[in-house]
Structure 1
Amino acid sequence: MRQSSNPVFRSLPQQPGGYAQFGSGIAGAQQMGQMAQPYTQYPPQTGVSRPLTIDDVVTKTGITLGVLSVTAVISYFMVSANLALATPFVLVGALGGLALVLIATFGRKQDNPAIVLSYAALEGLFLGAISFLLANVTVSGASAGALISQAILGTIGVFFGMLVVYKTGAIRVTPKFTRMLVAGMIGVLVLMLGNLVLGMFGVGGGEGMGLRSGGTLAIIFSLVCIALAAFSFLIDFDSADQMIRAGAPEKAAWGIALGLTVTLVWLYLEILRLLSYFQNR
């Protein structure tokens, strides 16, 4: 069975069955041959009114993104009124959000709405502050509103574009595809950590390998990250599709919402960074 590149999805139980579809493309159709297998992962449960549906996924994801968006707007205007709040908001939001993702992933609490919505609030705190810094401090002589709006539209466009790609089966989600994507993401993570460590020791004038310096290498690195985030949506959609087919309980929609939000946050940040690089050139 394919495993998602998203750690949140990877820790969710997955077993192909035959309930419903998240997408109708080749990626989803590949599971049809396994429909005859018994449901070993999700047996009938007392107190579960109905299995997971696509409406549950859309609703829970919408609520999660709504909390994130409202918190981000509040954070942005609070930082704009008092720049001293930027650093604590970024640190608390980023580290707190990471801690909740780790708790949800390794503690198998992805379906806990309190954890998912708390993550959304913390990430909103982080995104609002970092968006202000990138659009108003890092970039000079540019419209912050226009820059952030472009990043948001770009994120939405990539998300729905990859959903169309998945539903039409234009790109097949195969084990080989998944392995290549995971390898790419591990490579990017290693480079990010290496760049951070080198920068802390003053290498490259504090810029490390220059992956975030705004130069040509930084632009290439951001494009690679955007591509990886975009392609990871295909595997996330497929993982959600498998859960719906397996008749997972309704509350599993919170775990799917968390996984999609993690990828959306990463994609938005990389697009915003890329746009800020072009504005400074």
Structure 2
Amino acid sequence: MRSSNPVFSRRGIGQGGQAGFNAGPQAGNPYAQGAPAANPYANNPYAQPQPGTAGFPPAAPPQSDRMTMENVVSKTAITLGTVVAAAAVAWILNLGMGIAIVGALVAMGLGLWQSFKREPSPGIILGYAVAEGIFLGAMSNFVNKWAPGAAMQAVIGTMAVFAAVLFLYRTGIIQVNRRFMRFAIAAGIGYAVLSLVNLGFALFGAGDGMGFRTGWVGILMGIAGVCIAALFLALDFKQVEDGIAYGAPAKESWLAAFGLTVTLAWIYFEFLRLAWILNSD
């Protein structure tokens, strides 16, 4: 099974019978704690040769070429920092909703482009961060005018969800396995379909669409969106853990940062809409 995260699914992480579920790290890897398993990076076009394989010496590759938690944290800080900086500029310049929509479309295009590339591109990822930041900053400024404090509430809510999911994941309360992945994918697809249907009705003159974004139904949809995004955040943590355990190339740190940024932006936007609904009623 391919990973639910498009950032990692093209690299084999989380595929059945390989990394992710019921498999041990690659033999010779400094993180190895169990029986040897197939390396999901063996067919990666820029993967490092694995020790002990035919034609290669048994010495382990230099650790500077491997993905580490420090690399992931630093790249995530850069990517999220770019989002925040672009959002601040959009807020200060009081950019309109037209610019926000353009930013959203550009972010979506760059995100899909990176998801289908075979190698990470820091330029595309940072470009996505700028476009996403412009969208979120302009949208936050607009919502905050009608619901004062909504932006800060969304920030606090996003930080709280991140901390809670990280704690639950690290303590083992959340077990990311195949069943968890399938449930998250099904929930995400269902949520996306409902959102698109609601948007379609709204665009074609049905006012607020099917009512999924207003009143108590909108509140329930917003809560569901946050919960589903939290599931994907746990999947992101799993992908990072697998990447480090299996000796992913250092470049993959950019993809880890990209995946985390996409999910956190989703959570923030859901909280922003919730704050808008709650402060408007």
CA RMSD of aligned residues (A): 2.2
Matched with 1:188 is 191
* AA partner of residue 194 (structure 1): V
Q: 8 Å contact 1:20–1:53 — kept in the other structure? A: no
Q: 8 Å contact 1:57–1:254 — kept in the other structure? A: yes
Q: How many residues align?
A: 255
Q: Counterparts in 2 of 1:1-281, with a 5 A limit?
A: 3-14=2-13, 16=19, 17-18=25-26, 19=29, 33=34, 35-39=35-39, 40-41=42-43, 42-44=47-49, 49-79=64-94, 85-109=95-119, 111-137=120-146, 139=147, 143=148, 146-203=149-206, 206-213=207-214, 215-281=215-281
Residue 88 of structure 1 and its aligned partner are, at CA, apart by: 2.9
* AA partner of residue 69 (structure 2): I
Q: 8 Å contact 2:198–2:211 — kept in the other structure? A: yes
What is the aligned-residue identity percentage? 38
Residue 277 of structure 1 and its aligned partner are, at CA, apart by: 1.0
More helix by share: 1
Q: 8 Å contact 2:89–2:137 — kept in the other structure? A: yes
1:48-107 C-alpha deviation (Å, 9 max, x unpaired): 94211000000000000111101100101111xxxxx31232122100000011111112
Inter-partner Cα distance in structure 2 for 1:198 and 1:20? 54
* AA partner of residue 134 (structure 2): L
- SS of 1:250's partner is coil
- SS of 2:175's partner is coil
Q: TM-score w.r.t. structure 2 length?
A: 0.84
Q: TM-score w.r.t. structure 1 length?
A: 0.84
* AA partner of residue 70 (structure 1): A
Q: 8 Å contact 2:48–2:249 — kept in the other structure? A: no
For structure 1, the residue ranges without an aligned partner over 5 or more in a row are: 22-30, 80-84
* AA partner of residue 100 (structure 2): V
Inter-partner Cα distance in structure 2 for 1:279 and 1:93? 25
* AA partner of residue 267 (structure 2): L
Inter-partner Cα distance in structure 1 for 2:30 and 2:111? 27
Inter-partner Cα distance in structure 2 for 1:54 and 1:222? 32
Q: 8 Å contact 1:195–1:209 — kept in the other structure? A: yes
Residue 32 of structure 1 and its aligned partner are, at CA, apart by: 5.2
